[in-house]
Amino acid sequence: MPQTFRSLTLAALLVALAPPSPAADAPEGTPATLVEQARANVRLDPEASRRYADAALEALKRAPDADLEVAARLVLCDYQGERSPQAAQSEIDAANALLPKVRRRGLRAGVLACEGQLLELANKTHEALAKYDEAAQFAEGAQDAEMLADALYQRGYIRALLGQYAEGLVDQRRALALYEKLHLRSRARTAVNGIAILYNRMGDYAQAKHYYLQSLKGHIAEGARREQAVTLHNLGRAHENLGEWSEARQAFEQSLAIHNELGYPRGAAYAHRGLASVCNALGDARCADAELNKAEADAKAAPDARLRAQIQLQRGITLRLQKRYPESIAVLLVAAETFASGDSLAELRDTYRALAASYAESSDWRAAYERLVEFKNTSDTLLLRQLDQRFATLKVEFDTASKDQENALLTREKAVAERALAQERTVGRLQAAVIALATVLTLILATLLLRHRRTSRHMEALAHTDELTGLPNRRDILNRLGTLLRAAEPQPCAVLIADLDHFKPINDQYGHLIGDEILKVVAQALNATVRAPACVGRIGGEEFLILLPDTALSDAIIVAERLREQIMAIDATRWFADRPITASFGLTTAVAGDTVSTMLRRADEALYEAKDAGRNRVTAHCA
């Protein structure tokens, strides 16, 4: 992010970059032009988008075109989905009736995605995920890149909601790559927002805030008012999670102003909920109550179950601040039921924490403790899910720094345990006479210690695995080679070093995300070709080591050639059309007195000879 952008306040950024408001154009033109304008305005001005779509449908009555009509109805489904499920379903039904007549098969994916949107708003998250998955598969089969990108973005968002962060990040990054390839810059920025949401739900709020600010700058520059409002709201949530209440209030207020300008009550309801959260955090129940009344009024027009539950969560906190404990508990229980049915662990955790506080302040210590246990269990589940998913998505190198990584993660888990324990002690201070609570706390601590040991074993396994490819890492594969060479009765063995040819230009030209995908595919090809006791490991960058126990030189050359051909057979057209994927191989076999270093040196020398001789070949070096 440039320094000049970092130095601007959010308000200054909005003023500096906001383009002049265009005059509203009358919805006139050919059906194709009207549909194009309707789609272009989806992220700029929803009401203008609806007017253009309606005008397109009127024009299509005179000159029918099934493809254009389905496209117009998809725009209206997006508009109505957040306002009237019945109207949105009518658009879906009309589009489905036209699908047998369309030329563009991928439009069916758009209709499936609209159905997923309605399920998502009804808090049927797993059913929505199934629809988005069906949409993505159909778009891929129809080779419709735009519809595929849209479906991947929506599937990635719902996966983030369900805690499937690794799969969600893959979807969002793939959607981003497709949007950029199609030069759909506005939607590419929306995909960046999706990535930021994933980081936010994984607990990396600072990284999420960075992405939101980066995306916001682009939305302001192109005048995408709806996307500005959404991104400002998401930015406010990141500030909220970081406890940056002044910045959160500023972002929510600016989001609210744009939503009101656009006449978008659902977005306004979310902004009012955010402002109520700020008021509650600052202990201002009167302010929170006023914001929640506005949020509830705006939410009546929005068929969004999760939105209503989020408002109920803040309402419950406000009622507790007002010492209206029975009402607070009743509202929070309803919110908890909604979050539990939608598998929204982060919101469910926050609701259990609020319930524990309400029960404790009303002197219902048993119920307070029970809710605190539910809060802790949900927090642990969420934390472990976040940790597991981070390991599946982040490129962490464990070959030299694995112990530091392990200690850092264990320290983080210990800190989480200490925070949970502190909250339990708070409940204990409110009811010091309840001696039994101390016994229960001891049992919980024992459970935490057992979980700590299980996590340590899990980390030990991760320390020997390359996180990108899933293969043994450098430490593990070289330990295996050393064990073979140190055996009391050493067996003949061979070592291959495979190095992908011209890999740096691929990273430079197509980006590291494509490079990572290629490394994973090559690793799968190598691993699928060798059979135990042979094994494949990644020793760094684009280099792989293949260990062949009890293998003579002639047999090792045959294996190396087969591996080289397997790599050449990889279909690279999914990434680029002008080059195959090839690799050079250096080979050596063990002799008496060999060490890991001597074998690697000979294999490296053979690899360099293969590179010098033109690459994509096998060269052997014997002692």
Angstrom distance (rounded) from CA 182 to CA 268: 32
Residues 322-381 have pLDDT tens digits of: 999 999 899 899 988 888 887 777 788 889 898 999 998 988 899 888 888 888 888 777
- Residue 607's pLDDT is 95
Q: Check pLDDT > 80 for residue 248.
A: yes
DSSP characters over 266-302: HHHHHHHHHHHHHHHHTT-HHHHHHHHHHHHHHHTT-
Cα dihedral 386, 390, 391, 392 in deg (nearest 10):
100
Angstrom distance (rounded) from CA 152 to CA 107: 15
Of 204, 133, 137, 136, the closest CA to residue 165 belongs to 204
- Residue 35's pLDDT is 87
Given strand 543-549, what is the order of strands in its sheet?
535-540, 543-549, 493-500, 583-589, 618-620
Strand pairing class (543-549; 535-540): antiparallel
Q: Which of 135-149, 187-201, 279-293, 464-478 has the weakest average pLDDT?
A: 187-201
Identify the band that residue 238 occupies on the pLDDT scale cut at 50, 70 and 90.
Answer: confident
- Residue 40's pLDDT is 81
Residue 489 vs residues 257, 484, 552, 592: alpha-carbon distances, Å = 78, 9, 16, 11
Angstrom distance (rounded) from CA 59 to CA 77: 19
pLDDT above 70 covers what percent of the chain? 83
CATH architecture of 474-620: 2-Layer Sandwich (3.30)
* pLDDT: which is higher, 164 or 446: 164
* pLDDT: which is higher, 299 or 255: 255
Strand pairing class (618-620; 583-589): parallel
Residue 188 vs residues 44, 195, 444, 516: alpha-carbon distances, Å = 14, 11, 46, 20
Cα dihedral 119, 376, 156, 302 in deg (nearest 10):
40
What is the identity of the amino acid at 148?
Answer: L
For the record, the structure tokens of 589 come out as 């076999």
Domain(s) of CATH 3.30.70.270: residues in the chain: 474-620
Angstrom distance (rounded) from CA 92 to CA 86: 10
- CB-CB neighbours of 208 under 10 Å: 25
Find tokens 């949107």 and name the residue: 117
What global pTM score does this model have?
Answer: 0.51
CATH 1.10.3470 holds for 313-463: no
Angstrom distance (rounded) from CA 353 to CA 507: 46
pLDDT above 90 covers what percent of the chain? 35
Domain(s) of CATH 1.25.40: residues in the chain: 313-463
Angstrom distance (rounded) from CA 215 to CA 228: 9
Strand pairing class (493-500; 543-549): antiparallel
Residues 174-212 have pLDDT tens digits of: 988 998 899 888 788 788 878 877 777 777 778 777 878
- Residue 128's pLDDT is 87
Query: Which of 117-121, 257-261, 499-503 is the most confident on average?
Result: 499-503
Angstrom distance (rounded) from CA 127 to CA 115: 10
Identify the band that residue 562 occupies on the pLDDT scale cut at 50, 70 and 90.
Answer: very high
- Residue 397's pLDDT is 32
Full 3-state SS string of 150-217: HHHHHHHHHHHHCCCHHHHHHHHHHHHHHHHHCCCHHHHHHHHHHHHHHHHHCCCHHHHHHHHHHHHH
Angstrom distance (rounded) from CA 286 to CA 293: 11
For the record, the structure tokens of 31 come out as 């059906």
- Residue 414's pLDDT is 54
Angstrom distance (rounded) from CA 421 to CA 25: 61
**Are the C-beta atoms of 171 and 113 separated by less than 8 Å?**
no
Q: Check pLDDT > 60 for residue 460.
A: yes
